[in-house]
Structure 1
Amino acid sequence: MEKHSNIYSNFYLTVKRLFDIAASLFALLITLPLTLVVSLCIYLDDRGPIFYTQERIGKDGKPFRIYKFRSMCQNADAKKKELTEQNEVNGAMFKMSNDPRVTRVGCFIRRHSIDELPQLINVLLGNMTVVGPRPPLPEEVDQYSQHDKERLKVKPGCTGLWQVSGRNSLDFDEMVELDIDYIEHACLLLDMKICFKTVWIMIYPNEAY
């Protein structure tokens, strides 16, 4: 893959931001009926909050609040400590293929990545972009090596290269390398390819958890 420097150029960043605004507004509009149905299902499932917010680390290590549809039980963060030893991913991430905290509705919306639709609000606010590295948790960043911190040079994204290159079958080191590879080769064409692949994966999911 040819190496580009567009990720740091004013032209690329300007066009990318314009695309972020247009794409997120369009996506939020056309998915409004789906949003209403999902919101109702989440509420009826356990009468809990519809949305879930969490602190993540963005560009240059700056924290922000990320928005998602709630896909887990209401005390999921407290239960996470009990499941640490069952982590299936190496490095500074936590993943379980059969996480007991995931609700019935959550299982479906996570499989189709519907739980991440509210992140488009983060895109509009400017603390995320449509395509970029995964936004890490503060405790994950605390475990980062200097090499891993390369991921923090750009805005985190709703989707990215590793999400369309194996999803959760990848380990942490592979995810980091794909994110850094994206940063080094970012261009509008690559962004478009990742967006189209993301839509395909949402319709025909594979190994999403």
Structure 2
Amino acid sequence: MQKERSKLLIKHQRGSKIAEQFRMIRTNIEFISKKRSLKTIMVTSTKPQEGKSTIIANLADVMGRQDLKVLIIDADLRLPSQHYILGADNSVGLTDVLEERVSLEAVIQNTRLVNVDIIPAGQSPHNPSELLSKPALAKVFETVKKQYDYILVDAPPVIVADTTIVAQEIDGIIMIAEENKTPKQKFHKALTILKSTHTPILGIILNKTKQDRSNKYYYYNK
């Protein structure tokens, strides 16, 4: 299991083109942060299986290596995966905090990544949209903003209402698309939905791009 999880994270050997792409994304985010307040970043996609969760973990990794304190919040309560990628305990998590069963401090876990912590999703509830609409979510962000340089939020694909609910509480959005597999019409519809939240869209990461066959990611800054 541990070996399989490790394959999901980039390698940082000298000359790694994928690692360099993530460092470029980190630099772009830091540049935007100098112009406006940017601490909470939601990452979403048009549909499932476009790689958003792995991208979040890798982005957190390169941020942490830059001595930035990073928190990943798995807000994909319907199909969480950050606990699997990072080897965290998912018995309690964001769901339990929103339902006020446990304290926020009780669900924050260290990860094997440098300077990176995680709030896993917890057990999937039957009412994710209602839970995310609670004032408790805003309180979570208010608290963790004081403790971390960046908070990366793993949100569900835009096809569910949960994502627009979370978007109203964060500072910026990054969209993930998979080259030749994300339908253009659905992608543009997803962007329109996100724009209706009035949360800035920071950029688009094109996953598994063929612009350079040795690269897996390509970043379009908005």
Structure 1 length-normalised TM? 0.28
- The structure with the greater share of residues assigned to helix is 1
- The structure with the greater share of residues assigned to strand is 2
